[in-house]
């Protein structure tokens, strides 16, 4: 079904800027000026570039870390660039010599050597020819032609074997900066040790005149290619400890010899003189990466550089919206094949940036994903031969560009529907439709069941949770039992409470299911049914306050897709909700502040419910939002 494009008057005024298409938007030339929303990072990178300091960037994927590193390389002086060459070492052929020369010179030197070698070979060949012909003619005259020919062949073979081979003496250019416009930028993410630290190729012919000389088999690594430039390493913790150790040495010494990385090859015999590698390291990753990286490497960066935190979102101001307009223009320009976006199309992208921020009054800075949307929309327009990309294309792209997690969520939904894993009508005791997010941008309905059984051990009841819970979810279960004791006043020494998360093949993380668990348990303990057309999400304090959670928009949309009629969310998340037009009429959103309201909105009406609500009200010191002054 084609969705109607609705733009309310308030939304049209996203920013006071009028343009026909993104073609008329100026895109700055320098990469550093193209970076959006990371002003602090930009400042630090500028400073680090001028002082040649290392930088560590922590943040979500797609927030501009590698772009910043590339921008940093643009800021470095290209006058300092050098070419690096490997020369044969007459004293020890397994220890090639290393020389560096100004950028561009390396190529000239190699050419000159080649020319010289060619000349030498030519004149030698000439001499040989004269000699050979001389011998043959002489032997002919003295009547010993056969011996003459044999002698000529012997001379040819011997000189081939023993005369120095000029081509073997030509140096090898292992790092070239010929006609480079900027200092080098190398992304060494996920490269193996050989590519990172350099390698020496194996030589299958190690003698007999066919061998390749050692210096000619030397290959520089990314650490050498980024000499005087920037080496970017994402997910630094995935680098082997040995490689991290070698990186540390390279950082300290600013030079690192090249040796064969594969132990059994002939390359392993070769080790060059130290090769310069005076690069700026930009290491990146998420917080986990920092914790798991080699501590000495971390402290090296800390001691000699800057640590940066990348932001996930920026405030939703007219200024920042304008930056997003420029972002769309930048992405269109970078791709080169997309038709420019008109204003409505850009507005639609900005609206998506608001949605994806998942925080009230913010715009997402996970711009790689947003750029993906821009490209898909542009591709659709391109395939239709449209001259401009319009809002219609962006809306179509939104439908198409669903992440793997979203597609997985769809398939869960189908499967759960098939097996009747969740109900959306009627009522049930101890059964709640909880909500969760997968992969950061797709919601799923997560049914939770609670049951109460007589305790197996006499002394105390236990809370037993099943369904692949991860740590935070386990803690949430523990907290909930404290709340239940608090709010129901029921100490449960003789009962075990079983909580089961249903259909959670991928494991449950987070504590946003705590109000669902609490409701299921209260329902099971008090034997009051829960309305199954309701779904809920919210975190719970020990006192019974409902606390904010993440991904509200995606969770609500998932509930609506599953056919749920009412969704309970924390009041503090109310402003984060930016659901798509298509879902607005399908679902009622009920913001709540404490567990009493959750119970009021989810248990089936009746005297039992009234009793428990009254009891809860008298037991807790909380007031419902209706009783709270505005
Ligand atoms: P990361 O290294 O953090 O994973 P990248 O730097 O590779 O992310 O970003 C991928 C792409 O997304 C960039 O090439 C650029 O097109 C866009 N992008 C990401 N962050 C920004 C930003 N802050 N400003 C402008 N464009 C960005």
**What value does the mean pLDDT take over residues 467-488?**
66
Q: Which atom of ligand 1 is nearest to the CA of 61?
A: 4
Of residues 510, 514, 358, the one with CA closest to residue 434: 514
Please give the Cα distance from 352 to 393 (Å, whole number).
13
Q: Residue range 541-562: average pLDDT?
A: 88
Report the pLDDT averaged over residues 509-536.
Answer: 86
CB atoms within 10 A of CB 41: 23
- Nearest-atom index, ligand 1, CA of 331: 16
Query: pLDDT value at position 494?
Result: 67
| The pLDDT value given to residue 453 | 79
Question: Which candidate, 555, 569, 542, 567, places its Cα nearest to that of 625?
Answer: 569
Average pLDDT over residues 506-515: 68
Least-confidence region, from 15-24, 162-171, 390-399, 466-475? 466-475
62 lines ligand 1 (CB under 6 A): yes
| Beta strands across the sheet bearing 280-285 | 185-187, 230-233, 280-285, 54-58, 305-309
| Per-residue pLDDT at 547 exceeds 80 | yes
- Of 310, 414, 417, the C-alpha closest to 364 is 310
- In this prediction, residue 436 carries a pLDDT of 84
Top pLDDT among 621 and 352 is at: 352
Least confident residue range of 14-28, 128-142, 334-348: 14-28
Tell me which of 124-138, 434-448, 520-534 is least confident.
434-448
- In ligand 1, the atom with minimum distance to the C-alpha of 57 is 3
Distance CA 542, CA 485 (A): 10
| Secondary structure element (H or E) that encloses residue 230, with its range | strand 230-233
Of 39-43, 283-287, 397-401, 543-547, minimum mean pLDDT range: 397-401
Which residue is closest in CA terms to ligand 1's atom 19? 64
Residue 423 has what pLDDT? 74
pLDDT value at position 327?
96
Q: How far apart are CA 569 and CA 552, in angstroms?
A: 7
d(CA 294, CA 581): 49
Ligand 1 centroid to residue 389 C-alpha, Å = 22
State whether the beta carbon of 64 lies less than 6 angstroms from ligand 1. yes
**Which protein residue has the closest C-alpha to ligand 1 atom 7?**
66
SS3 call for 181: coil
Ligand 1 centre distance from Cα of residue 190 (Å): 18
Partnered with residue 443 across adjacent β-strands are 437
- Pocket mutation for ligand 1, best pick of 36, 41, 67, 322 (most atoms within 8 Å of C-beta): 67
Q: What is the pLDDT of residue 13?
A: 52
For every residue of 285-322, which 3-state class applies, written as one string? ECHHHHHHCCHHHHHHHHHHEEEEECCCEEECCHHHHH
* Helix H or strand E segment including 418: helix 404-418
Looking at residue 268, its pLDDT comes to 79
Low-confidence winner among 336-345, 387-396, 580-589 (lowest mean pLDDT): 580-589
Ligand 1 pocket test: pick from 32, 320, 368, 372 the residue with the most ligand atoms within 8 Å of its Cβ.
368
pLDDT single digits (tens) 236-290: 878 888 888 999 999 999 999 999 988 777 777 899 999 999 999 999 988 777 7
For the domain with range 31-102+180-310, which CATH number is right: 3.40.50.2300, 3.30.70.1560, 3.90.1170.50, 3.40.50.300?
3.40.50.300
Distance of CA 237 from the midpoint of ligand 1 (Å): 21
- Chain centroid to CA 500: 33
- Quick one: average pLDDT of 165-189? 89
Q: Are 467 and 504 in contact (CB under 8 A)?
A: yes
Domain 411-619 has CATH 3.40.470.10: no
Helix (H) or strand (E) holding 253: helix 241-253
Ligand 1 center–CA 67 separation, angstroms? 5
Q: What is the pLDDT of residues 343-362, one digit of tens each?
A: 999 999 999 999 888 888 89
Report helix, strand or coil for 54.
strand
Residue listed under structure tokens 């002086």: 77
Model confidence at 626: pLDDT above 70: no
Q: Which of 324, 367, 374, 440 to mutate to test the pocket of ligand 1 (most atoms within 8 A of CB)?
A: 367
Taking residues 544-572, report their average pLDDT: 90
Indicate whether residue 36 lines ligand 1 (CB < 6 A).
Answer: yes
Cα dist. 524→451, 521, 527, 608, 614 in Å?
6, 5, 5, 13, 18
pLDDT band at 496 (very low <50, low <70, confident <90, very high): confident
**Predicted local confidence at residue 368, as pLDDT:** 93
Task: Quickly state the pLDDT bin for 373 (edges 50, 70, 90).
Answer: very high
| Residue 240 DSSP label | -
Q: How far apart are CA 237 and CA 92, in angstroms?
A: 38
Structure-token pair, residue 613? 């609500």
Give SS3 for 154.
helix
Q: What pLDDT score does 5 carry?
A: 39
Q: Would you say the CB of residue 353 lies under 6 angstroms from ligand 1?
A: no
Model confidence band, residue 629 (pLDDT cutoffs 50, 70, 90):
very low
pLDDT for residue 232 is more than 80: yes
Catalytic annotation on 313?
Answer: no
**CB count, 10 Å around CB of 133?**
11
Can you read off the two tokens belonging to residue 451? 């049951």
The strand pairing partners of 280, in sequence order, are 230
Q: In whole angstroms, how far apart are CA 332 and each of 56, 489, 542, 549?
A: 29, 61, 50, 35
Helix (H) or strand (E) holding 382: helix 367-383
Average pLDDT of the segment spanning 557-576: 91
Question: What confidence score (pLDDT) does residue 15 get?
Answer: 64
Element (H, E) at 444: strand 442-454
**Model confidence at 417: pLDDT above 70:** no
CA distance 393 to 341: 10
Per-residue pLDDT at 615: 78
* Ligand 1 pocket check for 368: Cβ under 6 Å: yes
pLDDT of residue 578: 85
306-320, 486-500, 519-533 — which is least confidently predicted? 486-500
Strands 172-175 and 82-87: antiparallel
- What is the rounded end-to-end Cα distance, in angstroms, of the chain? 42
Whether 571 is a known active-site residue: answer no
How many CA atoms, within 13 angstroms, populate the side-chain half-sphere of residue 212?
14
Catalytic, out of 512, 516, 523, 539: 512
**Predicted pLDDT at 3:** 38
Is the predicted pLDDT of residue 598 greater than 80, yes or no? yes
Cα–Cα distance, 498 to 519 (Å, whole number) = 13
Question: Distance between CA 441 and CA 550 in Å, rounded?
Answer: 10
Query: For tokens 């919601």, what's the residue?
Result: 443
Classify 575 as helix, strand or coil.
Answer: helix
Q: What is the per-residue burial (b if ≥16 Cβ within 10 Å, else e) of 577-596?
A: bbbbeebeeebebbbbbbbb
Q: Mean pLDDT across the stretch 542-546? A: 83
**CATH code for residues 312-401:** 1.10.8.60
Predicted pLDDT of residue 183 = 95
Mean pLDDT of the chain: 84
Q: Which long-range contacts (CB under 8 A, 24 or more apart) does 100-108 make?
A: 100/276, 103/78, 103/177, 103/178, 103/180, 104/177, 104/178, 104/179, 106/173, 106/175, 106/176, 106/178, 107/83, 107/173, 107/176, 107/178
pLDDT attached to residue 4: 39
Return the sign of the alpha-carbon dihedral for residues 613, 614, 617, 620. negative
CA 324 to ligand 1 center in whole angstroms: 13
| Stretch (H or E) spanning 535 | strand 534-536
Residue 51: is its pLDDT beyond 90? Answer: yes
**C-alpha–C-alpha distance, residues 580 and 362, integer Å:** 17
Nearest CA to ligand 1 atom 5: 64
Asked whether this complex has an ipTM greater than 0.95, the answer is yes
**What would the mean pLDDT of 65-79 be, rounded to a whole number?**
93
The pLDDT score that the predictor gives to residue 85 is 95
Q: What is the SS3 assignment for 93?
A: coil
Q: Which residue puts its alpha carbon closest to atom 20 of ligand 1?
A: 64
Q: Is the CB of 63 under 6 A from ligand 1?
A: yes
Ligand 1 proximity of 451 Cβ (cutoff 6 Å) = no
In this structure, the chain runs to a length of 630
Q: How far is the CA of 69 from the centre of ligand 1 (A)?
A: 10
User: How many CB atoms within 10 Å of residue 17?
Assistant: 12
pLDDT at 493 over 70: no
Reported as a single tens digit per residue, the pLDDT across 78-122 is 888 999 999 999 899 899 999 999 999 999 999 999 998 888 888
| pLDDT of 299 | 86
What DSSP assignment string belongs to 445-508? EEEEEEEEEE-SSSS---EEEES-B-HHHHHHHHHHHHHHHHHH----TTEEEEEEETT-TT-B
Provide mean pLDDT across the span 535-541. Answer: 90
Q: Is any atom of ligand 1 closer than 6 Å to the C-beta of 350? A: no
Range with the poorest average pLDDT among 110-124, 184-198, 408-422: 408-422
Instruction: Report pLDDT for 371.
Output: 94
Interval 418-448: pLDDT, tens? 555 567 788 899 999 998 887 667 788 888 8
């Amino acid at each position: 079904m084609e969705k109607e494009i609705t733009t309310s008057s308030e939304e049209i005024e996203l920013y006071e800027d009028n343009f026909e298409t993104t073609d008329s938007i100026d895109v700055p030339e320098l990469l550093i000026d193209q970076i959006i929303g990371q002003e602090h990072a930009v400042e630090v990178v500028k400073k680090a570039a001028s002082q040649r300091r290392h930088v560590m960037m922590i943040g979500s994927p797609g927030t501009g870390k590698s772009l910043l590193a590339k921008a940093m390389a643009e800021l470095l002086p290209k006058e300092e660039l050098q070419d690096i060459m490997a020369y044969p070492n007459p004293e020890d052929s397994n220890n090639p010599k290393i020389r560096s020369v100004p950028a561009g010179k390396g190529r000239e030197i190699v050419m000159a050597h080649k020319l010289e070698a060619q000349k030498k070979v030519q004149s030698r060949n000439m001499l040989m020819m004269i000699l050979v012909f001389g011998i043959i003619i002489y032997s002919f005259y003295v009547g010993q032609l056969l011996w003459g020919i044999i002698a000529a062949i012997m001379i040819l073979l011997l000189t081939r074997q023993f005369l120095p081979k000029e081509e073997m003496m030509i140096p090898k250019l292992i790092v070239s900066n010929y006609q480079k416009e900027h200092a080098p930028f190398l992304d060494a993410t996920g490269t193996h040790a050989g590519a990172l630290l350099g390698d020496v190729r194996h030589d299958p012919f190690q003698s007999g005149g066919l061998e390749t000389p050692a210096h000619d088999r030397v290959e520089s690594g990314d650490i050498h290619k980024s000499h005087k430039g920037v080496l970017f390493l994402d997910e630094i913790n995935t680098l082997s400890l040995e490689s991290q150790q070698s990186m540390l040495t390279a950082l300290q010494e600013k030079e690192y010899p090249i040796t064969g990385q594969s132990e059994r090859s002939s390359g392993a015999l070769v080790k060059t003189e130290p090769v310069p590698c005076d690069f700026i390291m930009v290491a990146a990753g998420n917080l986990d990466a920092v914790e798991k990286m080699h501590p000495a490497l971390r402290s090296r960066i800390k001691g000699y550089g800057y640590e940066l935190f990348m932001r996930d979102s920026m405030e939703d101001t007219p200024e920042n919206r304008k930056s997003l307009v420029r972002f769309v223009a930048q992405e269109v320009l970078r791709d080169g094949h997309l038709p420019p976006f008109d204003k409505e199309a850009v507005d639609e992208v900005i609206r998506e940036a608001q949605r994806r921020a998942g925080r009230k009054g913010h715009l997402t800075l996970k711009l790689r994903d947003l750029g993906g949307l821009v490209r898909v929309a542009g591709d659709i327009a391109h395939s239709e031969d449209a001259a401009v990309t319009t809002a219609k294309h962006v809306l179509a792209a939104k439908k198409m560009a669903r992440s793997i997690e979203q597609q997985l969520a769809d398939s869960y939904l189908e499967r759960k529907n098939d097996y009747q894993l969740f109900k959306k009508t009627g009522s049930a005791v101890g059964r709640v439709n909880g909500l969760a997010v997968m992969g950061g941008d797709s919601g799923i309905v997560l049914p939770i069941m609670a049951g109460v059984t007589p305790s197996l051990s006499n002394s105390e009841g236990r809370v037993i949770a099943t369904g692949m819970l991860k740590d935070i979810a386990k803690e949430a279960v523990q907290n909930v039992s404290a709340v239940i004791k608090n709010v129901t006043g029921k100490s449960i020494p003789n009962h075990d409470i079983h909580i089961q998360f249903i259909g959670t093949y991928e494991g449950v993380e987070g504590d946003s299911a705590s109000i669902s668990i609490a409701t299921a348990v209260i329902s099971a303990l008090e034997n009051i049914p829960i309305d199954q057309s309701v779904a809920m999400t919210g975190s719970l304090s020990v006192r019974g306050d409902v606390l904010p959670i993440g991904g509200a928009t995606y969770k609500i949309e998932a509930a609506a897709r599953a056919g749920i009629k009412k969704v309970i969310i924390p009041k503090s998340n109310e402003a984060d909700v930016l659901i798509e037009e298509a879902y607005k009429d399908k679902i009622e959103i009920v913001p709540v502040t404490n567990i009493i309201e959750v119970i009021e909105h989810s248990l089936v009406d009746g005297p039992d419910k009234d009793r428990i609500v009254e009891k809860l009200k008298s037991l807790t010191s909380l007031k419902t939002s209706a009783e709270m002054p505005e």
